[in-house]
Amino acid sequence: MQAAPVKPQADDTAYISKLVEWFEAAEEATENSRKASERDRDYYDGKQLTSAELKKLRERGQPDIIINRIQPKIDYLLGFESSSRTDPRCFPRTEADEDAAEAATDALRYVEDSTSLDQKFSNVWEHMLIEGFGGVELVVDEQSGDIDVVEWDWDRLFCDPYSRKPDCSDARYLGGIVWMDADESKEKWVHAEEAINITLNENTSSKTYDDRPWQKWVSGKSRPRVRIVQMYHREGGQWKWCIFTKGGKLDGGDVPFVDQKGMSFCPLFLQSAYVNRENERYGLVRIMIGPQDEINKRRSKALHMLTVKQVVLERGAVDDVDMLRKELAKPDGVIERNPGFELEINRDDQNITGHLNLLQEAKNEIELIGPNAAMMGKQGGSPSGRAILANQQGGQTEISRILDRHRNLKRRVYEGIWNLIRQYKTQEWWVRVTDDEKKSKFVGLNRPVTYGEQMGRDLEKKGLPPAEIVAAIEQAMADPMQGPMMSQVATVENVPAEMSMDITLEEVPDVANLAAEQFAGLIDLARTGVVLPPKAYVKASNLRNKQEILDEMEKAEAKPDPQAMQMQMESAMAQLREMNAKIAKLEAETIKTLVEADMASQPMNQITTPQIVSNGAAQTPQPAPQQMGFQ
């Protein structure tokens, strides 16, 4: 539902008939698979006995005890996913895009946090484990450009029954269904009231996707409701969307979203845990059903055999056989046997032992599925650390395939979000990055950069101190020629549309914010031998009073060292004494030269004064140039 409602045209009848046919084909083809998925959910919830089995137990007077080994297994995997969540991160393919990659990472994580995407991914993970598949949909508010992620329940999703891929990438169509009150749907699609009325009069029964507790295209008399289908389908290279019901089209059009290559893509992302040869999608619970049934039935059978007894007696051994049965059922029953007749009470201990052994084997079998006991922290004894690690890694290896498919879903969704950011975030956009409890750090996308700001950055790259940079900018601002230009826009930085070809996505461990991730990266560098100044670690940390710590460090650096000052003074005095000695020597040589020239009666214009150069030595005297005038 991305655009304004579009009034259906007269030629939509054939188009809607085709879509209705597609949807009903998917509904019919997946009926058995969905019933099995509903049973899988019931088994997870502990509803593992049929009504006939419950009736039989009541007739025996036996409690309906269920040893649910499925729920702890699934709950562990749900907790495992929550504790090992990952965040998106963008990596540049060229050095010039390093700053842009950081801004892209900030933008993705902002959408992730604002849409509670972690929780929605966890819910999809639960559906993958139990029912077999789930999905989310990306939507955009075209006025504000805000991106949202809609979570779909598994029993409201459908896809092309001919699709064989776990991610439904080969599906011609896919979508979901929504049940709405008839009056509400008429208010939402005013132009489609006739189509809704036609649906209300159809009264066509439904096999699945029922509106609980109703089960038809139309449900309820006092509160009539109508089933509405939202479908995405491919026509050539273009994805289209359509909202319709049995009576006709409500809304639709071309999907406006494009990827980094300019190709249309579907905003509904589905993912399955497993797909069998009949294209049925199922989860991890499906393979636990057999062992779980055996656990319940073996235990019930063994309990029944332990509580009943067989009697071998001669005719006439007791006066009332029914009374004998009642007494046998009592733990303190009294049996009166007539004299001279045989009566023997037996219990089938051999069969009871067999059932108990098979019960233990069934428990062991279900324990081997998914995470093992060591991985779940329930291993007995006192194993070593290496043994615990090996067992945990073994358990994770067994579920690595389904974990990889869940990561594939996350990667595709993050790529879709980035595509929408590139397409719809064309104006200046600021995202908040949590850094300090007293300061809020913001990162701008499509941010204008003035000539003055660009000049400051260039001077900073050259290594100029901050004070000199400020002075240079102030001088430029005061210049009549440069001043007006300094506030003009020189360029626009962090433009998502220009980052598409140089950005790749990679997942890193989930952290509270980017500052924590950067600090962890600095620690890793330090461990490899790359040592940075102490201030770098303090600035990147999340210390509560880190500004006060930095101020104290600056004071310590600014405080003069008396010993160093004394050494500098002594060195300066030594250089001064050496220079004075050289000057005195040169003056003596000059006087000697003048005296010798006078004694030789040489013309005064041929006498030169030695020149002192930087190293303190005297240059060889050169004759003065010939002058005009007196000789």
CB count in 10 Å sphere of residue 535: 13
Q: What is the pLDDT of residues 445-475, one digit of tens each?
A: 888 888 888 888 888 888 888 888 888 888 8
Mean of the pLDDT values across residues 177-202? 87
Q: What radius of gyration do the chain's Cα atoms show? A: 42
Among 11-25, 194-208, 387-401, 411-425, where is mean pLDDT lowest? 387-401
- Could you tell me which residue, 359 or 415, shows the higher pLDDT? 415
Has residue 246 got a pLDDT over 70?
Answer: yes
Q: Which structure tokens are listed for 396? A: 């994770």
Q: Where are the alpha helices (DSSP H) in 368-465?
A: 385-398, 400-424, 451-461
Report the pLDDT value the prediction gives residue 577, as an integer from 0 to 100: 73
Where is mean pLDDT largest: 353-367, 400-414, 490-504, 601-615? 400-414
Report the pLDDT value the prediction gives residue 151, as an integer from 0 to 100: 94
Angstrom distances, CA of residue 360 to CA of 62, 199, 299, 354: 21, 55, 10, 10
- Cα–Cα distance for residue pair 292/359, rounded to 1 Å: 10
Closest residue by Cα to residue 296 from 43, 5, 469, 118: 43
CB count in 10 Å sphere of residue 306: 14
- Could you tell me which residue, 267 or 451, shows the higher pLDDT? 267
- Could you tell me which residue, 596 or 110, shows the higher pLDDT? 110
Beta bridge partners of 436: none
Those residues whose C-beta lies under 8 Å from the C-beta of residue 167, and which sit 6 or more positions away, are 269, 270, 271, 272, 405, 408, 409, 412
How does DSSP classify residue 386? H
Closest residue by Cα to residue 61 from 347, 356, 303: 303
- At residue 253 the predicted structure's pLDDT band, cuts being 50, 70 and 90, is very high
Report the pLDDT value the prediction gives residue 132, as an integer from 0 to 100: 94
Report the pLDDT value the prediction gives residue 420, as an integer from 0 to 100: 93
Report the pLDDT value the prediction gives residue 481, as an integer from 0 to 100: 83
- Could you tell me which residue, 30 or 296, shows the higher pLDDT? 30
Closest residue by Cα to residue 393 from 380, 378, 374, 409: 374
List, in sequence order, every beta strand (DSSP E) within 49-146: 86-92, 133-140
Has residue 103 got a pLDDT over 90?
Answer: no
- Could you tell me which residue, 318 or 394, shows the higher pLDDT? 318
- Residues making up the chain, counted from first to last: 631
The residue assigned the tokens 């999608």 is: 281
Backbone angles phi, psi at 109, to 5 degrees: -70, -30
Mean of the pLDDT values across residues 557-574? 67
Has residue 295 got a pLDDT over 90?
Answer: no
To 5 degrees, how large is the angle CA 25–CA 238–CA 114? 90
Q: What is the pLDDT of residues 214-234, one digit of tens each?
A: 555 555 566 788 899 999 999
Alpha-carbon dihedral sign for residues 164, 166, 168, 174: positive
Q: Is residue 144 packed enough to be buried (19+ CB in 10 Å), middle (13-18) or exposed (0-12)?
A: exposed
- Cα–Cα distance for residue pair 297/267, rounded to 1 Å: 46
Report the pLDDT value the prediction gives residue 562, as an integer from 0 to 100: 64
Mean of the pLDDT values across residues 488-508? 70
- At residue 90 the predicted structure's pLDDT band, cuts being 50, 70 and 90, is confident
Has residue 412 got a pLDDT over 80?
Answer: yes
